[in-house]
Every structure is written in C-alpha cells, then in structure tokens.
C-alpha cells in the first residue's frame, strides 16, 4: 500500500487527534480556510476593545497589568485552550508629578516663564519634590556631549535629535526609531556619568502635536538621575532660546521605583497531535506604557495572537505541533517575561520549533512575514506566501539582524523567529504616547493581521520539513 506523504500525514494526525478535531494539513484549501475565517472574525477586535477600554494602560506592576493577565487568561480558558500563568518578577516604576518651566533666558519679559511639556522616562529617578533648577545644555549627538563634557556637571542635558520621519515614510520606520531611541535609552546614562543633574531627550516619533513619547531609559543603578522626554516643539524652543543665551529650567519629576512586583506571562496552548512536544509560539506583549491604553503597542499583537487560537478552535482544526499563544509581560521596561520563558525552556530549546511575535501594531496594512531563518529554508514558505497573497500579504523577507523584543533570548539561542510585516509609517507617531488608543486600529487591519498570524502559525505547526535554526549571526 502506498500513500502520498501529505495523505499519510493527515491519516496519522487524524488518528492522534483528540475528540472531534479534524486532521491537520498545509494544503492550500486548509490554509485558505484559516485565512478566510480570520478575515471574517470580529473576535480579536472585541478582545482589543475589552483590553483597551476596560483594562486600559498596563505598565508592569500596575493594577492594569494584573487585570490584563486575568482578562486574557479568562478569554483563553473560555476558548478551551490550556492556560498557564508563568510567574515573572517585574520592575515596578510609577509615574509621579511632572512639570517644567523655563524660568530664565535672554529676552525673558518680567514675570514671564514658559511651560515645557514633558513626561518622565521609565526608570527615571525623582527630583526633589520642590523641583531642581539648573541651566540646560543642548547637544545634538553623543560626540557633542563628549566634546562639551566639562560643561555638563550640575546641568540639565537635552538631546535635541529629530526623529527622521522621512525614513519612516520610505518604509524605514524601524531603523528611524532605532536611531532616535538610542538617545533615549543610552543618553541619560551618559549624561549621568558626566555629572548631569538631569537629562531630557527630544521625543522619538513623528507627530507634531506637542506629543510626548515616553519609553525606557537604561540608567546605571548607582547613578540614576531624573530623565524625561520633551515634545519636539519644546526641544526646538529650548534650542532656539539657547542661541540667544543661557536657559534655566525648573524641573519637577516625582516618579517612584517600588520593589519588584509579581506578574505573569499568560500562556495558552492549543495542543498538537503527533508532534505535540514541539512548540510554535505566536505572541505579543501584554504590558504597555502608562500614558495610553497601548492599543497598537501591543494590544493588537496580543489580541491577534489570541485570535489565532480562536480561529483554529472555531474551525475545529488541530495542528501537529502545539501552537502556544503567549502574552508576554514586561517587554517595555525590563524584558523579564521573555527572559523568564527562555530560562524555563533553555534545556530543550530544540523543541521551540519557531516563535512569532507581533509588536509593530496593526495601524496599517499587514503585507507579509519577516523571517529570522537561514537562506536555504526560504523556499519552504512558497505555499504560505501563495495562501497570503489574496489578502495582499504575500511578501516574505528574511531578517539577518537580531531583534530586541521578547524573542531576543530565544533567537540568540537559535529559535527561528517570525514577525508580521506591517506598514508602520504612522506607528511611531503614536508609539509610547497618550494617543496610542483603540480608535487608531481599523477593524479590517486587525483582521488581516490575525489572518497572517493564524495562517503562519498553522503553517509552521504543520510543516513536514525542518526549518533549521536562526541565522548564525543572531548568536
């Protein structure tokens, strides 16, 4: 007797499958069915509304983060997924009062001061409750900071580097963000090392609505200073006034760093059949910044990942490998969720077949897949591309630079990683601002985003062939 291989696979699977779940396959009809079911479903958008409207902001350690863990776990249990809460110790930083004024500058009229719009960066220390007052020194590069090292002591350093919206418009939002955010993540520590009283960075993002963009800054534990993001407009104002003469700012920032808090990664498994011990992760991060409800960063990633399981459950499809939805905790200011998972699975990483994370929002078209695989495996994905082409998501690009999100540790240890490709030219207008809200997500965009994740996750979970490990240069 002779079976064609796919048929044999299907037969084996149907024998192993529990209950009424039908056999798994990567044939075009099954892929199309998954894609179309996701395209027709409002379920992820309803979960997005629940997460952003009912829970709201979800910074690690906050009541919102705890509520989000429960909300996602509950929704996944309701679907019939196998839910595990993986404990994660997370930093617990809480925003306080934040305000600033220019109290002295050349040409200042009597009794006039100018308010500066800013927001503390995650990890910032506090000023005295009454504020600190110091001269501002404006620099436009790390080099300039070093050249002016002698001027820094006791001053407030402002890194006035504009976000390159032109790059974002040309499809290079990620690299533009990388360039800009370097000043946010590393600038304050460098200023602190030179004795600065505080550090400010120009907000990293494209909008010109006097919008603050928060984010984490990495300060040396023993040399923490107050650090904040000013709006682009305020950075430009201070820079212009500095050309007229010295500018003095009164700065009040009173965030608190509390003891590390107990939190969780939410893990929800759709168990596989004959290869159930192998895992395909599909994920987003559950925590968000505190200024908004984190709709695109990253409730879309989480709810689309949840939607993968909902789609397969609805179709009564069971994959060969286990498809594991993960809602990571603490991507934004510590990465403890990703690190904890990596640590827990490091002895058997070969069983982590592949990992998908969505963390570029869904506020634009999803047009394909970015794959952290070696070149020789690229051709394996042609059937997937064919299945996604009808929804305009047939692009497959290889990635040869390691990412920095929750998958970082897994990738560095060889787990092939996949990200959806999303038009993110507007993403950094809203990213980490008070404006990252539910209304920024179009239902249709979340549907196609979920369709890409669902079809990709299924495809990976049912591949007969190995896809190797992550590119050498990720190690």
**b/e map of 283-306 (b: 16 or more CB within 10 Å)?**
bbbbbbbbbbbbbbbbbbbbbbbb
Question: Which residue from 278, 193, 276, 205 is spatially nearest to 235, judged by alpha carbons?
Answer: 205
Q: Mark residues 356-375: x for contact with Zn ion by CB under 5 A, - for none.
A: ---x----------------
**Residue range at the interface with a copy of itself (CB under 8 A); choices 54-62, 133-141, 267-275, 316-324:** 54-62
Q: What percent of the residues of the chain are helix, what percent strand, and what percent coil, each to the nearest 5?
A: 40, 25, 35
**Contact pick of 298, 357, 436, 445 for Zn ion (by CB under 5 A):** 298
Active site residue 144: no
Start-to-end CA distance of the chain, whole Å, equals 46
Instruction: Put the strands of the sheet holding 417-422 in their side by side order.
Output: 82-94, 256-270, 321-328, 275-285, 352-357, 417-422, 366-372, 395-398
Which residue in 310, 331, 332, 411 is the catalytic one? 331
DSSP label at residue 136:
E
**Minimum CB separation from a copy of itself for residue 307, in Å?**
20
Picked from Zn ion, a copy of itself, none, the partner binding residue 170 (CB below 5 to 8 A depending on kind) is none
Residues 363-402 that bind a copy of itself (CB under 8 A): none
**Residue range at the interface with Zn ion (CB under 5 A); choices 267-275, 354-362, 440-448, 462-470:** 354-362
Nearer to Zn ion, 269 or 406 (CB): 406
**Residue range at the interface with Zn ion (CB under 5 A); choices 83-91, 149-157, 290-298, 316-324:** 290-298
**Residue range at the interface with a copy of itself (CB under 8 A); choices 79-87, 110-118, 343-351, 457-465:** 110-118
**Contact pick of 132, 139, 207, 266 for a copy of itself (by CB under 8 A):** 207
Nearer to a copy of itself, 211 or 391 (CB): 211
143 binds a copy of itself (CB under 8 A): no
Q: Give me the residues paired with residue 321 across strands.
A: 275
Question: Which residue from 156, 137, 132 is spatially nearest to 147, judged by alpha carbons?
Answer: 137
Question: Residue 376 CA to chain centroid, in angstroms?
Answer: 29
Q: Binding residues for a copy of itself, how many (CB under 8 A)?
A: 45
**Contact pick of 5, 19, 20, 109 for a copy of itself (by CB under 8 A):** 109
| DSSP-derived pairing of the beta strands 82-94 and 256-270 | antiparallel
Residues 398-457 that bind a copy of itself (CB under 8 A): 429-430, 433-435, 437-440
For 10-155, strand residue ranges (E) read 82-94, 98-104, 114-116, 118-120, 132-139
**b/e map of 132-151 (b: 16 or more CB within 10 Å)?**
bebebbbbeeeeebeeeeee
Picked from a copy of itself, Zn ion, none, the partner binding residue 292 (CB below 5 to 8 A depending on kind) is a copy of itself
Write out the residues near Zn ion by the rule CB under 5 A.
Answer: 297-298, 359
């Amino acid at each position: 007797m002779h079976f064609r291989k796919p048929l044999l696979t299907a037969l084996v699977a149907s024998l192993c499958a529990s209950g009424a779940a039908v056999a798994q396959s990567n044939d075009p009809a099954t892929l199309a069915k998954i894609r179309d079911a996701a395209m027709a479903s409002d379920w992820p958008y309803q979960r997005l509304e629940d997460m952003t409207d009912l829970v709201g902001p979800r910074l690690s350690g906050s009541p919102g983060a705890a509520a989000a863990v429960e909300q996602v776990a509950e929704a996944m249990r309701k679907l019939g997924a196998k839910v595990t809460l993986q404990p994660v110790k997370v930093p617990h930083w809480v925003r306080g009062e934040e305000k600033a004024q220019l109290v002295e500058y050349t040409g200042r009229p009597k009794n006039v001061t100018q308010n500066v719009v800013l927001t503390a960066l995650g990890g910032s220390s506090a000023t005295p409750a009454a504020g600190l007052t110091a001269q501002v020194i404006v620099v436009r590069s790390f080099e300039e900071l070093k050249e002016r090292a002698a001027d820094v002591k006791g001053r407030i350093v402002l890194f006035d580097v504009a976000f390159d919206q032109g790059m974002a418009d040309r499809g290079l939002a990620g690299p533009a963000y990388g360039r800009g955010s370097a000043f946010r993540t590393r600038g304050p520590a460098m200023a602190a090392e030179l004795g600065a009283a505080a550090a400010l960075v120009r907000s990293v993002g494209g909008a010109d609505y006097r919008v603050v963009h928060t984010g984490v800054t990495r300060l040396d534990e023993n040399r923490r200073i107050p650090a904040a993001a000013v709006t682009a407009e305020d950075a430009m104002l201070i820079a212009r006034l500095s050309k007229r003469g010295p500018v003095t700012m009164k700065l009040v920032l009173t965030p608190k760093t509390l003891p590390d808090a107990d939190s969780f990664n939410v893990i929800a498994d759709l168990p596989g059949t004959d290869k159930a011990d192998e895992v395909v992760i599909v994920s987003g991060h559950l925590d968000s910044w505190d200024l908004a409800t984190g709709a695109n960063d990253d409730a879309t990633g989480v709810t689309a990942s949840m939607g993968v399981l909902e789609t397969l459950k609805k179709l009564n499809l069971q994959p060969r490998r286990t498809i594991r939805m993960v809602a990571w905790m603490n991507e934004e200011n510590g990465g403890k969720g990703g690190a904890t998972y990596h640590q827990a699975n490091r002895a058997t990483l070969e069983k982590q077949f592949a990992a998908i994370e969505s963390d570029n929002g869904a506020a634009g078209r999803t047009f394909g897949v970015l794959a952290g695989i070696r070149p020789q495996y690229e051709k394996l994905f042609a059937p997937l591309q064919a299945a996604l082409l009808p929804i305009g998501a047939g692009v497959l690009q290889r990635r040869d630079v390691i990412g920095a999100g929750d998958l970082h540790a897994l990738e560095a240890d060889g787990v092939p990683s996949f990200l959806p490709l999303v038009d993110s030219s507007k993403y950094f207008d809203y990213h980490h601002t008070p404006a990252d809200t539910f209304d920024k997500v179009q239902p249709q965009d979340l549907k196609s985003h979920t369709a890409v994740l669902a079809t990709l996750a299924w495809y990976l979970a049912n591949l007969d062939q190995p896809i190797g490990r992550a590119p050498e240069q990720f190690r």
